[in-house]
Amino acid sequence: MGFSHPLWSNLIWAVPLLIMLFIFSLGEKKRRMAAFGDPKLVEALSASASRKKQAYKTALVVISILLIAISAAGPEIGTKMQEIKRRGVDIFIAIDCSRSMMAEDIAPSRLAKAKNELSSFVSKLQGDRIGVIAFAGIAFVQCPLTLDYNAAKMFLDLIDPGLIPRPGTNIPAAIRTAIKGFVSKEQKYKAFILLSDGESHEGSLDSVVAEAKKEGVRIYAIGFGNPSGEPIPVRDETGNVSGYLKDKKGESIMSSLNEAALQKIALETGGRYYRASDGEIEIERIYEDISNMEKKELQAKVYSQQENRYQYFLLIALILIMLELLLSEKKKVLIGFVFLLAILLPSSSGASLKGKIDKGNRLYEKEQYEEALDRYKDALVDHPGSDMLFFNSGDALFKSGEYGQALDEFMKANNSKDRSIQQKAYYNTGNSLYRTDRMQEAIQVYKKALDLNPRDMDAKFNLELLMKKMKETPNTKCCKPEKDKQEQKQKEQQQKTGDKNKNEKKEQQQKENKDSDQDKKEQQEQQQGEKKDQMSKEDAKRILDAFQESEMKASKDRKKMVPVQVGTVEKEW
């Protein structure tokens, strides 16, 4: 058992102190009663002074305090594999993480652009199982087919050129790895999205493409780069370009986009090929295409983090307090009930706030942004100064095209004491500043968002894109950052691990009392657009193990997560 708010667990140390105090007071009372005469006679004449009754009352109070302390600490008990059934297709996405993908002919780099496009794609999915493959000279399944989109995005974020130990670009290995990851007996419901510059240095494409076609795998390809070639930058420890990658002859390597190979792969399997653009139109079209594919009923087990079980401990504590009140005099009973009302009334107020937020969020999901804004404003009347309501109001205004007003709301949330809200508010402030043509200010705000969360890939992407475009065209307006989180429409309910989409309303953070640690858990569950949490390597391994255990049982033909090696390495980029 763990605690979401471990500081409150220190209250447990008050229990032994109370027990010692009770023993001491019991001895003192016994001595005082002896001064009046025979203790048994005095006890019989004074029912309220009964030692047995006092012992019961003290025990009830001590146990109640213990349970309240545990409840306040947020006990997290047990883990489970939650079974989810959906209708959709199985999709593997393969991302080329060879060194050639570090070329910067598309901002901020080929690999960064590919990862951001895939992150947007995963956010749009509803019911489809998604798997992630990373490849260079060999291919690995980073994440088996799963319905847990947050976990898939987490593994996607981990992809970088140093992930694969063998250099090169082995597209056949990536396709073959995906084929083995699908359920082999089915000849449909399978899609494969390949993101690469097409410089396949190893293996034969013809045979593996024919195999994919035979297995009913529809391949979509997105080409990254410039057909005329681009040098591959080499960066030092500070991240600055120190030179360009050279071949064995000492000449700079020019990495070119090989569209012919990618077109051949896509067309022969019934898919489509697109060249990567500054926007995300290509991934949008692929999503629309896959959405129209015939779907099947999918069943998967998704790992769920420990859940907060505070309510059970609190309920038992309240019952014990009421029992203690029944053993007390009427006057004390009245005082006790007043105390209970003082506890319950804030909860009622919090429930009212939660209800208004939920109504607003449901309207937001239906794209009724003006009505959602009315709900948020109504809640602000009763709960002025709520950072979460400012944040939600900003989202609704942004969606309505009122970027100036949205900026005002996001800036109010920038001073939130909650680090999570503050970071997301800074990010959305940057988006709003861009929309109002305040580029330099947007850059500074994106930097603040990254200071609070250096792993925010979306903020990093927008920042790099803005800085690069402004450097290239200092006297003109630069292009729109393609990763506005308000443009993402994530529909999947996140698990309570925590997620990474700032503007969706599927999970809303409840913040009834900003100064109360006890509300933090509910706040994280109720905040709209929960970003995914930063997970440790151990957490990532545990999730991956859970996926493997469930997904590998789906078919005897499902292969273990092993690298596929094809051919020999002739080039190292």
User: Rounded to whole angstroms, how far apart are CA atoms 419 and 157?
Assistant: 21
SS3 state of residue 509: coil
Across residues 126-133, what is the average pLDDT?
89
Average pLDDT over residues 534-552: 48
For residues 321 and 78, the answer to whether their CB atoms sit within 8 Å is: no
Query: Both tokens of residue 516?
Result: 């109360």
pLDDT in tens, 503-524: 433 334 433 333 334 343 344 4
| pLDDT exceeds cutoff 90 at 40 | no
Residue 570 banded pLDDT, cuts 50, 70, 90: very low
Q: Is 559 exposed, middle or buried (0-12, 13-18, 19+ CB in 10 A)?
A: middle
Type of residue found at 501: N
> How far apart, in whole angstroms, are the C-alpha atoms of residue 566 and residue 205?
11
How high is the pLDDT of residue 485? 43
End-to-end Cα distance, the chain:
48
pLDDT in tens, 429-463: 998 998 888 888 889 999 999 999 888 888 888 88
Query: In the predicted model, is pLDDT for residue 103 greater than 50?
Result: yes
Q: Give 366-369 contacts, CB < 8 A, sequence gap 24+.
A: 367/399, 369/396, 369/397, 369/399, 369/400
Q: Report pLDDT digits (tens) over 269-295.
A: 999 999 998 888 899 999 999 988 877
**Mean pLDDT, residues 230-255:** 84
CA separation (Å) from 206 to 138, 176, 271?
18, 12, 16
Q: What is the DSSP letter of 554?
A: G
How high is the pLDDT of residue 336? Answer: 53
Residue 118 CB coordination number (10 Å) = 24
**Which pLDDT band holds residue 96 (cuts at 50, 70, 90)?**
very high
Instruction: Answer yes or no: is pLDDT of 299 > 80.
Output: no
- Comparing 433-442, 540-549, 559-568, the range with the smallest average pLDDT is 559-568
Domains of the chain listed by start with CATH number: 1-77+310-358 (no CATH), 82-231+269-303+536-565 (3.40.50.410), 367-494+498-526 (1.25.40.10)
Half-sphere exposure of 425 (CA within 13 A, CB side): 25
List the one residue out of 146, 214, 129, 130 whose CA is nearest residue 176.
214
Across 22-36, 46-60, 232-246, 280-294, the highest mean pLDDT is recorded for: 280-294
Cα separation, 135 vs 453, in Å, equals: 28
Which pLDDT does position 513 carry in this prediction? 39
Higher pLDDT, 7 or 410: 410
Residue 428 identity (one-letter amino acid): N
Q: Which of 511, 546, 288 is nearest to 392 (CA)?
A: 511
pLDDT beyond 90 at 134: yes
Single pTM value for the model: 0.46
Structure tokens, 52: 């047995």
Hey, is 120 helix, strand or coil?
helix
Short-list 164, 178, 172, CA closest to 133:
178
Work out the pLDDT band at 7, boundaries 50, 70, 90: confident
3-state secondary structure string across 462-485: HHHHHHHHHHHCCCCCCCCCCCCH
pLDDT above 50: residue 33: yes
Q: Alpha-carbon distance 88 to 99, whole Å?
A: 34
CA 91 to centroid of chain Cα atoms: 20
Phi, psi of 361 (to 5 degrees): -65, -40
Q: Is the pLDDT of residue 22 over 60?
A: yes
Element at 42 (helix H, strand E): helix 39-45
Q: What is the pLDDT of residue 369?
A: 85
- Of 165 and 429, which is predicted with more confidence? 429
Reduced 3-state DSSP string for 364-426: HHCCCHHHHHHHHHHHHHHCCCCHHHHHHHHHHHHHCCCHHHHHHHHHHHCCCCCHHHHHHHH
The pLDDT of residue 521? 37
What is residue 163's predicted lDDT score, i.e. its pLDDT? 81
| Radius of gyration of the chain measured on its C-alpha atoms | 30
The CA-atom distances, in angstroms, between 33 and each of 19, 47, 51, 383 are 21, 13, 11, 54
Residue 310's pLDDT band (boundaries 50, 70, 90)? confident
Percent of the chain predicted with pLDDT > 70:
68
CA dihedral (230, 231, 237, 239) in degrees, to 10, reads -30
Residue 92 reports pLDDT greater than 90: yes
* Mean pLDDT of all residues belonging to the chain: 74
Task: With CA atoms as reference, report the closest residue to 5 among 98, 66, 70.
Answer: 70
Distance between CA 318 and CA 298 in Å, rounded? 43
Strand 217-223 relative to strand 273-275: parallel, antiparallel, unpaired? Answer: parallel
Mean pLDDT of all residues in 173-195: 87
Q: What is the DSSP letter of 48?
A: G
What are the Cα distances from residue 17, in Å, to 6, 25, 65, 153?
20, 12, 12, 48
Whether 212 has a pLDDT exceeding 80, the answer reads yes
